[in-house]
Amino acid sequence: MYLYLYDSLLKERQYTAALSNLETQLLDLGISGKIVRLTSLLSPRQIIQEEIRRSKDLKTVIVVGDDTVFTKIVQYAADLPVTFGWVPIGPKTELATRFGLPYGAACAPILSRRRLMSVDVGQFNQYFFIDYCTVPLCHVTMVIDNTITISATEEKMSCHVWNMASPKKGEMPPGYTPMPDDGQLEIVLQPIAKKSFFGSTIAPASIFPFTEVKMKLEKTTPIEIDGHTVKENQITLRVSPQPLKLIVGKAV
């Protein structure tokens, strides 16, 4: 059984044709299913759990929407026992293209072929992410895998976890290419070196593979995970033992 979760944005008239074409393709391929339109009343996790309870045949959840809605669903539901598919429709679909997923109805044959990829999942406190996590410049103390302690209480440091290579040129350290299916994550620490008359000098980044990182920030700070912002000052980063099963058009 297929469950299709439609982004609430898709009720706008500009997406009517794209949805009609998609639904025709899904019907022709024999992979149509139950459609649930997302609202603010129930979380995606609650919706999926309820559908699993109702039907033990539910194995695949297809998100229909852009990068924002897909990563939001992953943020709360990545650990549920289903395979995820994704039909990108909406204003922002850059992440979808990295998984080889074309826009709209062109994605239907990919869903039918069911080429699966096991995508590593990071866990940030109670949230999940598959693309990146960024803690901005701050004073921080962290413990990596209960063995390495790093304290940056005098100079500020930014912390990044990239599960996938960033499309932004020059954002990542030279020579560093993360792999979203290698079973591990790395935390990239970028300190600001000594200040001088000419300004602050960027020091070389340090990269640490990890299973768990515990961080304490000087104050509650906005932190970005897969494009969504949360505010925390106590952080636990983990590698989820359960990868995300995702239908893709190509290997990343």
Residue 90, classified by CB atoms within 10 Å of its CB into exposed (0-12), middle (13-18) or buried (19+), is buried
| pLDDT the model gives residue 251 | 67
163 lies in the same domain as 79: no
Contact indicator for 29, 58 with CB cutoff of 8 Å: no
In a domain, 249, yes or no: no
| pLDDT the model gives residue 77 | 97
Q: How far apart are CA 162 and CA 189, in angstroms?
A: 12
Q: What pTM does this model have? A: 0.91
9 lies in the same domain as 84: yes
Residue 14, classified by CB atoms within 10 Å of its CB into exposed (0-12), middle (13-18) or buried (19+), is exposed
Kindly give the confidence (pLDDT) of every residue in the chain, 252 residues in length, as a single tens digit, with 9 standing for 90 and above. Answer: 899 999 999 999 999 999 999 999 999 999 999 999 999 888 999 999 999 999 888 999 999 999 999 999 999 999 999 999 999 999 999 999 999 999 999 999 999 999 999 999 999 999 999 999 999 888 899 999 999 999 887 778 889 999 999 988 888 898 899 999 999 999 999 887 555 555 555 678 899 999 999 999 999 999 999 999 999 999 999 999 999 999 999 866
Q: Domain range spanning residue 140? A: 127-239
In a domain, 228, yes or no: yes
150 lies in the same domain as 222: yes
| pLDDT the model gives residue 86 | 98
DSSP E strands in 51-121: the ranges are 60-65, 83-88, 116-119
Q: Give me the CATH number covering residue 165.
A: 2.60.200.30
Q: How far apart are CA 180 and CA 196, in angstroms?
A: 39
Q: Give me the CATH number covering residue 80.
A: 3.40.50.10330
68 lies in the same domain as 147: no
139 lies in the same domain as 203: yes
Q: Last residue of a domain, which of 69, 88, 114?
A: 114
| pLDDT the model gives residue 191 | 81
Contact indicator for 237, 163 with CB cutoff of 8 Å: no
98 lies in the same domain as 152: no
In a domain, 39, yes or no: yes
189 lies in the same domain as 131: yes
In a domain, 245, yes or no: no
Tokens 């935390």 found at: 187
76 lies in the same domain as 169: no
In a domain, 234, yes or no: yes
Q: Last residue of a domain, which of 114, 149, 168?
A: 114
174 in the Ramachandran plot: left (φ > 0), alpha (ψ -120 to 50) or beta? beta
164 lies in the same domain as 110: no
- Structurally, the chain folds into a number of domains equal to 2
36: Cβ–Cβ under 8 A, 6 or more apart, which residues?
3, 4, 5, 6, 47, 51
38 lies in the same domain as 131: no
In a domain, 250, yes or no: no
> Alpha carbon 60 to chain centroid distance?
18
102 lies in the same domain as 178: no
Which of these, 90, 55, 51, lies nearest to 70 by C-alpha position? 90
164: Cβ–Cβ under 8 A, 6 or more apart, which residues?
98, 130, 131, 132, 178, 180, 252
In a domain, 212, yes or no: yes
Which of these, 225, 247, 241, lies nearest to 75 by C-alpha position? 225
In a domain, 247, yes or no: no
Q: How far apart are CA 241 and CA 25, in angstroms?
A: 35
